[in-house]
Amino acid sequence: MRSRTLFPVVALTAAALSACDRLVDPGIEAPANLAYRIEPSGDPAAPAAVVLMWDEVTNPDLESYRVYSRADLNASFDLRASTTSTTFHDAGIPDLEYYVTAVRVGGDESAPSEAVLIDERRRLAGPEWLRSTSLDGAVHVWWSDNPFEDSPAAFRQYRVYSTSYSLDDNLCDATWALEGTTVSPEFLVSALRNGVSRCFGVSAEAVEGWESLWSPLTYDTPRPDARNVLMNPYPVNVSRSGFRFFQDLNGDGRAGVSELGIVTSGDRTDIDFWVDVESDGDVFLVPERGGTSLALYPGGPVDDLTSIDIAPGAGYSTAALQAVPGYGYVFQMSGGDGFARYGALRVTHVSAGYIIFDWSYQTDPGNPELQIRGGLPTFEGIVVKPPLGR
């Protein structure tokens, strides 16, 4: 488990403050162990605030503390605030340097504390890359761990941000929200609406609170899925040989739970595909509904349904494909509105009597995201046959 180190300080000696003309009363000690932490804002160049903290002065004559700062090393220190607390919250972009004094009843002031330099050079490098996986009502994001690997003692945590995304314009919205923080190079963004795309970005936060530049941005679109669906080939049990990814039964244009992943009769013409078996025991997926075509997901067997990410841009056919355990299949279907819909299967078990598979479906019109990005070729390494008769 990674540890979290709090508030390291770049300290200057009181001698560096000799140019300050302050009254010093030896009867009250200066505050000790002045430290700071930046409050990140999401903009590495504009922190939300700096928080100063120091040890309590236990002198019974203590009245308050005074906080001094300067914007650059050539400027003089000015009084920033007076407080009875041992912390000070300075909103906005912080000054370059701060120190604190203790004030006695009557107004006498201690020597300055050691000063802290608010040193942005302690900012970490940002993550070099960012990836995502589409899930049902969620998106899993993961990224390069180089900020921690390069500077483990200076690393505090990662910050994960999201905003809306326009698929048509290929643009992320300018208003970002913090999804959460984590010390691991991965994060699950949940409670998302299926079919609604989101942009994601990640920054690394140093122990002082400095925020790195963001990772490259990525977008993803959650989609419904289900595991371990059982169907039978048409000659075995016609009533469980047909499948429809989505059918808008109530006409509201939304994908309700009962309208997704419908196992039904294979003799219907409004299903997306049906399952057939030949005399030698080979099982096939057969596209059925008008506007529905099928492609084998490229690259051979896939480890999981979530490995089927972007639907191939070409290579679809109305020909049947043999169902083979471990392989992925992508369906391109007409949505009736000029936009295609995409569904995916990963077959987990095949026999002459039944087939078991996992499926996913993208509810966003025209969006090929099923779960790593790019124009994927169509792999044609398994037997491809023309549509079979029933």
pLDDT computed for residue 24 by the predictor = 45
Q: Which residue has the higher pLDDT, 375 or 277?
A: 277
The structural architecture, per CATH, of the domain 11-121 is Sandwich (2.60)
Band of residue 4 on the pLDDT scale cut at 50, 70, 90: very low
What confidence score (pLDDT) does residue 390 get?
56
| Segment 347-368 mean pLDDT | 94
Query: Averaged over 356-361, what is the pLDDT?
Result: 95
Report the CATH fold assignment for 130-220: Immunoglobulin-like (2.60.40)
Tell me: pLDDT of 293 over 90: yes
Residue 137 in tokens: 């009502």
What confidence tens digit (pLDDT) does each residue in 237-250 have? 999 999 999 998 88
Can you give the length of the chain in residues? Answer: 390
Output the pLDDT for position 26: 55
Domains 11-121 and 130-220 fall in the same CATH topology: yes
Q: What is the mean pLDDT of the chain?
A: 89
pLDDT of residue 27: 85
Which residues, at least 6 apart from 302, have a Cβ–Cβ distance to it below 8 Å?
308, 326, 327, 328, 346
pLDDT score of 135 more than 60: yes
Q: What SS3 state is found at 244?
A: strand
Residue-range domain boundaries for the chain: 11-121, 130-220, 225-385
Of 210, 209, 253, 257, give the one whose Cα is nearest residue 364: 253
CA dist 42 and 160 (Å) reads: 9
What sign for the dihedral angle of Cα 315, 317, 320, 323? positive
Is 90 exceeded by the pLDDT of residue 380? no
